[in-house]
């Protein structure tokens, strides 16, 4: 359904964050992480791997928002690492641990962890930063990253493309050019999205961990695929 993005636009972004087919360009990124209640869980006791959350020790403490699209890449990464059968076992284990703390979205999850209704949850980083910016309540939560290259430590990409059916191809390509320009990406850095800009080496918000310091699982855009495998596993685990 998408038209090719011009080579010049694609060159504005590191190729590993663009469509392998060249029909969309990466605009922004977010990183999966943990949010935890600092009153009930000391940083020294945090899990270092996504697999640790399947431990029964987290029963009644874990929070999940499995219907969020951000959760699908985590499931994909686990399946790539251990296989579908192991991923399903993990899903069933975290489902048991999260009984009573399964949320419709990450905003609700972060708010409940912050007030202590749950102890720890899996989110993408920007939900916590947005909550911190918007809330009037005292912050009783923080975020933490898994060990380098853990399957729970992922960079997710939001991209933009042009519909092949569009009758305004030139104008649409100009919009893409703006989105990945330093000016366009600067909107992310100066606004309250708290996402990482991917185009034109634009700097991220200074509140975020610098992008070059992130140490995610080295999965590629092609490895993530279309998410259908993860969706099937979530349905089998009756989390969707």
Q: What is the pLDDT of residues 178-200, one digit of tens each?
A: 999 999 999 888 889 999 999 98
Rounded distance, CA 228 to CA 225, Å?
8
Do 156 and 73 meet the contact criterion of CB atoms below 8 Å apart?
yes
**pLDDT at 72 (0 to 100):** 96
How far is C-alpha 76 from the geometric centre of its chain's CA atoms?
A: 12
Residue 116: count of CB within 10 angstroms of its CB = 13
- pLDDT tens digits along 26-44: 999 999 999 999 999 999 9
Do 121 and 128 meet the contact criterion of CB atoms below 8 Å apart?
no
């Amino acid at each position: 359904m998408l038209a090719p993005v011009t080579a010049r636009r694609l060159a504005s972004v590191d190729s590993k964050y663009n469509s392998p087919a060249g029909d969309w360009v990466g605009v922004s990124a977010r990183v999966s992480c943990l949010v935890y209640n600092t009153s009930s869980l000391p940083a020294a006791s945090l899990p270092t791997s996504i697999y640790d959350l399947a431990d029964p020790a987290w029963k009644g403490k874990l929070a999940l928002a499995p219907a969020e699209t951000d959760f699908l890449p985590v499931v994909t990464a686990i399946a790539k690492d251990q296989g579908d059968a192991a991923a399903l076992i993990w899903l069933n284990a975290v489902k048991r641990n999260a009984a009573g703390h399964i949320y419709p979205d990450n905003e609700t999850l972060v708010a409940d962890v912050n007030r202590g209704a749950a102890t720890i949850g899996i989110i993408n980083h920007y939900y916590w930063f947005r909550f911190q910016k918007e809330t009037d309540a005292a912050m009783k939560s923080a975020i933490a990253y898994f060990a380098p290259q853990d399957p729970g430590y992922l960079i997710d990409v939001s991209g933009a493309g042009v519909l092949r059916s569009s009758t305004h191809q030139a104008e649409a390509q100009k919009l893409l050019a703006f989105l990945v320009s330093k000016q366009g990406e600067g909107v992310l850095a100066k606004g309250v999205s708290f996402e990482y800009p991917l185009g034109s080496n634009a700097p991220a918000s200074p509140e975020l961990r610098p992008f070059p310091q992130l140490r995610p699982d080295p999965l590629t855009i092609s490895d993530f695929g279309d998410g259908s495998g993860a969706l099937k596993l979530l349905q089998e685990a009756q989390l969707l």
